[in-house]
Amino acid sequence: MTYFLRRLPLSRLLLMCGLTVVLGVSATALAFALGTGPKPPAKPLADAVHDALTAPPVEGVSARIQLTDHLLEGANLASGSGGAAGQLSSNPLLTGASGRLWIAKDGRARLELQSEKGDTQVYYDGHTVSLYDASSNTLYRYTVPAHAGGSSDGSSGADSSTAPHEVPSVAKIEEAISRLRHVNVSGATPTDVAGQAAYTVRVTPKESGSLIAGAELSWDATHGVPLRAAIYSTTSATPAIELATTEVSYGPVDGSVFDFKPPANAKVEEVAAPEEGTTNPGASGEHPHVTTQGHGIASVAVVEGKAKAGAGGSSSALPEGLQKVKINGIEATELPTELGTLLSFERAGVRYLLVGAVGPAAVEAVAKGL
């Protein structure tokens, strides 16, 4: 899988990352907007979690949302003069946008983000994730393996099993929280989210040295539906990524909401994961070598792979238009973000990709020691 991601153009890789973030949040979460709604009574975190897990399921969710994304601020993507970097700088998944979200009881979901250069639509039907980028008239499609998101009989993942899931007791939830060794977990803070009584919990790393300050999750105190998700950077008091709603309602969602037909002239990109049990299809047939340097959340992952023969052009796994730095006299491409840094360069037929939830200086120091 690492090899597959390494070989993707960064424009598609980050688009997938953005999609993963949005779907991962929206499949379980709706949004956040502080208002003047009611607040629930104070209670221990384990009790609040247990109540959420035992709440009756909702028939569906409809919401107006605001996606805030400061992840790539300061990366100078606009200087890419078009091309991959320029496309990243205008994609609403990576720059933020307002829009709407629908989630049906059977697990189907639709996310619609509006932008000046065209809307971005994300659909999930229980089997396939489809992302349509109107600015480039491109449809990205990924079929989820049956064991991961659906079943072989054609049913969606939400209905693939009729066996009830056992809800852990309050005591087991308390025990699980007490075993969290690397993070601090706050209590359940009563609040209101989009006019709904809700609880918010914040998780922060115990180890220092990374750009990740923590994450927050809010959920509906009555329905048990997560209502807000946000990730914070140590560089700012405001979230680096946050999905927020201005309106939210519960009830059946009309099936026509999930009907999706891209323009007939849309370019279709099929995104496929490597098959299990097969080797990577590189020229050498070898897996990239992955190591880590550092400790805990501040560690840096180093991916080493054989450079593609006769590739020409850029010697980096990242697109042109990003900032350049020197690593022991070799030009490297660097992408700093609010939550970490990516750096890539090629030397003696080996392509290096370094990734860490740390600043550029820390990643560059590791690269210079290779």
Q: Please give the pLDDT value at position 108.
A: 94
Q: Please give the pLDDT value at position 158.
A: 43
Asked if 173 and 225 sit in the same domain, the reply is yes
The token pair that represents 244 in the structure block:
């927020």
pLDDT digits (tens, 9 = 90+) for 47-75: 999 999 999 999 999 999 988 888 887 66
Q: Please give the pLDDT value at position 75.
A: 61
Cα–Cα nearest to 92, from 219, 281, 243: 243
Q: Please give the pLDDT value at position 227.
A: 87
Asked if 24 and 146 sit in the same domain, the reply is yes
More confident residue, 239 or 4: 239
β partners of residue 301:
292, 355
- Quickly state the pLDDT bin for 309 (edges 50, 70, 90): low
CB 68, CB 236: distance < 8 Å: no
Asked if 260 and 293 sit in the same domain, the reply is no
pLDDT digits (tens, 9 = 90+) for 201-257: 999 999 999 999 999 999 999 999 888 999 999 999 999 999 878 889 999 999 999
Asked if 180 and 31 sit in the same domain, the reply is yes
Domain that holds residue 294: 289-368
Asked if 47 and 123 sit in the same domain, the reply is yes
Q: Please give the pLDDT value at position 147.
A: 61
| Mean pLDDT for the chain overall | 80
Which residue carries 């840094």 as its tokens? Answer: 341
Position 247 in a domain: yes
Position 58 in a domain: yes
Give me the percent of the chain exceeding a pLDDT of 90: 53
Burial of 265 (C-beta count, 10 Å sphere; 0-12/13-18/19+): exposed
Asked if 41 and 161 sit in the same domain, the reply is yes
Cα–Cα nearest to 107, from 165, 61, 41, 54: 61
Q: Please give the pLDDT value at position 165.
A: 72
* Single residue among 216, 242, 270 that ends a domain in this structure: 270
Number of domains in the chain: 2
CA atoms within 13 A on the CB side of 123: 18
- CATH number reported for the structural domain that contains residue 24 in this entry: 2.50.20.10
Q: Rounded to an integer, what distance in angstroms lies between the CA atom of residue 188 and that of residue 174?
A: 13
Asked if 208 and 149 sit in the same domain, the reply is yes
CB 122, CB 134: distance < 8 Å: no
φ/ψ of 30, rounded to 5, equals -110, -100
Average pLDDT, stretch 296-303? 93
Q: Please give the pLDDT value at position 209.
A: 92
Cα–Cα nearest to 343, from 358, 360, 368: 360
More confident residue, 33 or 195: 195
Position 50 in a domain: yes
Position 275 in a domain: no
Q: Rounded to an integer, what distance in angstroms lies between the CA atom of residue 262 and that of residue 186?
A: 44
Asked if 95 and 244 sit in the same domain, the reply is yes
Q: Please give the pLDDT value at position 76.
A: 59
Position 284 in a domain: no
Asked if 168 and 307 sit in the same domain, the reply is no
Radius of gyration for the chain, computed over Cα atoms and rounded to the nearest angstrom: 22
Give me the percent of the chain exceeding a pLDDT of 70: 73
CB 20, CB 27: distance < 8 Å: no
Position 359 in a domain: yes
CB 19, CB 122: distance < 8 Å: yes
Asked if 226 and 255 sit in the same domain, the reply is yes
**Strand, coil or helix: what is 77?**
helix
Position 60 in a domain: yes
- CATH number reported for the structural domain that contains residue 317 in this entry: 3.30.200
pLDDT digits (tens, 9 = 90+) for 146-169: 765 444 444 444 444 445 578 999
Q: Within the chain, where are the H helices? A: 2-7, 10-26, 45-54, 83-90, 92-95, 146-149, 170-178, 360-368
Q: Rounded to an integer, what distance in angstroms lies between the CA atom of residue 188 and that of residue 206?
A: 19
More confident residue, 97 or 361: 361
Position 342 in a domain: yes
Cα four-point dihedral sign 311, 314, 315, 317: negative
Asked if 151 and 203 sit in the same domain, the reply is yes
Q: Residue 68 carries which side chain, given as an amino acid letter?
A: T
Q: Rounded to an integer, what distance in angstroms lies between the CA atom of residue 312 and that of residue 131?
A: 30
Q: Please give the pLDDT value at position 261.
A: 87
CB 322, CB 80: distance < 8 Å: yes
* Single residue among 241, 270, 299 that ends a domain in this structure: 270
The token pair that represents 369 in the structure block:
């020691």
Q: Please give the pLDDT value at position 159.
A: 46
Asked if 294 and 179 sit in the same domain, the reply is no
* Single residue among 227, 243, 270 that ends a domain in this structure: 270
- pLDDT at position 32 over 50: no
- Of 94-103, 244-253, 336-345, which one has max mean pLDDT? 336-345
Q: Please give the pLDDT value at position 319.
A: 60
Cα–Cα nearest to 130, from 258, 239, 307: 258
